[in-house]
């Protein structure tokens, strides 16, 4: 862990309450955030409060079984440190920087404190740039900000991990960036599956994974986000590379902070959360920024407690996000992947000044068409498509073709679907949407637009299967497949 014990400043444990450990030092008091070791380094304690001239209170980052009053604690003389350098690529770590992937020992690394200030305003880039993902639906309707923070909202099994994996693939393969995956309060099963998926997809060489698992003490889960950011800052500031930081799940970070606060005996705030929640979340989120040398772009999975968007944890997290991507179980059940809800997802970047007048106008027109189709669905279900006016039927035909065009085969799912992955530029995605809205593809079957890259592939698909046939719109539009 980078620090040698400071034998000149030994201390003694005076009380142990679960993860809270009070220690007495006669020589001098260790500063806040210092690490203390007990039982030959098996138990690690982080100092979080100085109680008086000789006593400090800390939270154990490891289980405290076997720790008793009177035991010796050693001051390491420094804070928690994370490994940085080229040697950490393609590796998997715990909060202490120990490799947990059963690979050979680390080389070509140095250690840095996980407690670092955010970049000063003078060093930040003031330009708003779009972070192109190559995924049509995101780039057109909810563009991400380079150096910004996007929230990914969705339940289990709707494609969060697949979407994150695809973004890692596109970032590594096409932008020569680095991806860092930070699991906060993750199940160990999910971490192991993700590691295997990344290896199979061939994106591991430009990726770092760090986990604070669900079964670990709250102090460990609370610090794993800071360790991940320290690694990300190295690649941004020292190697001048763009970094994609994926955090799963940011709510667990707040939850761990709440547990630590409760253990330290602080008075709980609204709904039982810690009184320092806003400060703690800001200290983490403000380090995610773009500077003159590079950018850290973050995508964070957000669990919303009991689907209550007024919950303090959700409210505080929302205030930091520049884009929200909402996944829909209904779209997933219809086979429309990525199953992003275009009407609920939004981005602060989707303004005429940032993405341009044409992109903005097209995105608004797409939303309007899809919203009208959503309103007409009930009428179609009860009375059938024949009862709609001619204009409404055209809207339905456009919306259904748009829905299918906004699906996309992913590189990371090639082995399951048998479809070759596609990376689509913003220009091609916008051209396709514009041509569909202008009814250029009204005579093509909807299936021709499903799971393709650029819109011209629909014509190739038709040529391969058969010559394009003018189809009966009544027959197609009642088909809900």
Catalytic residues: 160, 186-187
Strands 323-326 and 43-50: unpaired
Q: Helices marked H in 319-455 — which ranges? A: 329-333, 352-355, 357-383, 390-405, 414-417, 426-437
Contact 216, 191 (CB under 8 A): no
Across 197-295, the runs of DSSP E, i.e. the strands, are: 207-213, 243-248
Residues paired with 207 in a beta bridge: 179
Report which of 297, 432, 422 is spatially closest to residue 359, judged by C-alpha positions. Answer: 432
Query: Measured at the alpha carbon of residue 404, what is the angle toward residues 400 and 409, in degrees to the nearest 5?
Result: 175
Contact 307, 331 (CB under 8 A): no
Helix, strand, or coil (residue 226): helix
Strands 243-248 and 178-186: parallel
Contact 117, 266 (CB under 8 A): no
Burial class (CB in 10 A: 0-12, 13-18, 19+), 432: buried
Contacts of residue 294, defined as CB under 8 A and 6 or more positions apart, other chains included, come to 235, 236, 237, 239, 240, 241, 242, 243
Query: What CA–CA distance (Å, rounded) separates 307 from 320?
Result: 19
Query: What CA–CA distance (Å, rounded) separates 254 from 9?
Result: 33
Contacts of residue 400, defined as CB under 8 A and 6 or more positions apart, other chains included, come to 373, 446, 477
Q: How many C-beta atoms lie closer than 10 Å to residue 308's C-beta?
A: 12
Q: How many helices (H) and strands (E) does the chain have?
A: 15, 18
């Amino acid at each position: 862990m980078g620090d040698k014990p400071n034998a000149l400043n030994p201390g003694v444990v005076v009380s142990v309450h679960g993860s809270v450990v009070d220690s007495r030092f006669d020589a001098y008091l260790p500063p806040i955030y210092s690490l203390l070791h007990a039982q030959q380094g098996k138990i690690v304690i982080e100092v979080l409060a100085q109680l008086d001239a000789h006593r400090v209170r800390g939270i154990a980052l490891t289980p405290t079984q076997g720790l008793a009053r009177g035991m010796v604690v050693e001051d390491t003389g420094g804070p928690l440190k994370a490994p940085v350098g080229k040697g950490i690529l393609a590796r998997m770590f715990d909060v202490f920087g120990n490799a947990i992937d059963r690979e050979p020992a680390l080389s070509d690394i140095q250690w840095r404190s996980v407690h670092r200030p955010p970049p000063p305003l003078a060093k930040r880039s003031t330009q708003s740039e779009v972070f192109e993902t190559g995924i049509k639906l995101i780039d057109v309707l909810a563009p991400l900000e380079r150096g910004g923070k996007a929230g990914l909202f969705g339940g289990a099994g709707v494609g969060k991990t697949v979407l994150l994996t695809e973004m890692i693939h596109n970032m590594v393969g096409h932008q020569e960036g680095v991806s860092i995956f930070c699991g906060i309060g993750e199940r160990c099963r999910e971490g192991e599956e993700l590691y295997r998926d990344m290896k199979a997809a061939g994106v591991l060489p430009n990726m770092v994974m760090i986990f604070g698992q669900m079964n670990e003490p709250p102090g460990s889960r609370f610090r794993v986000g800071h360790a991940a950011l320290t690694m990300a800052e190295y690649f941004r500031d020292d190697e001048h590379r763009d970094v994609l930081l994926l955090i799963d799940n940011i709510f667990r970070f707040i939850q761990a902070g709440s547990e630590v606060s409760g253990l330290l005996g602080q008075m709980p705030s609204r709904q039982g959360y810690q009184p320092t929640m806003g400060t703690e979340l800001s200290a983490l989120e403000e380090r995610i920024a773009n500077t003159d040398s590079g950018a850290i772009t973050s995508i964070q999975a957000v669990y919303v407690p009991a689907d209550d968007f007024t919950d303090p944890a959700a409210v505080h997290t929302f205030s930091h996000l520049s884009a929200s991507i909402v996944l829909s179980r209904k779209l997933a059940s219809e086979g429309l992947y990525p199953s992003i809800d275009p009407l609920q997802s939004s981005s602060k970047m989707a303004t005429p000044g940032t993405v341009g007048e044409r992109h903005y106008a097209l995105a608004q027109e797409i939303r309007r068409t899809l919203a009208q189709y959503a309103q007409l669905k009930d009428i179609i279900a009860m009375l059938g498509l024949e009862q709609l006016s001619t204009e409404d039927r055209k809207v339905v035909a456009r919306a259904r073709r748009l829905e299918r065009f906004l699906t996309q085969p992913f590189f990371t799912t090639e082995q399951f679907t048998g479809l070759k992955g596609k990376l689509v530029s913003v220009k091609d995605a916008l051209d396709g949407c514009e041509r569909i809205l202008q009814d250029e593809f009204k005579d093509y079957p909807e299936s021709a637009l499903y799971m393709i890259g650029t819109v011209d592939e629909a014509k190739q698909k038709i040529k391969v299967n058969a010559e394009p046939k003018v189809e009966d719109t009544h027959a197609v539009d009642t088909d809900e497949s």
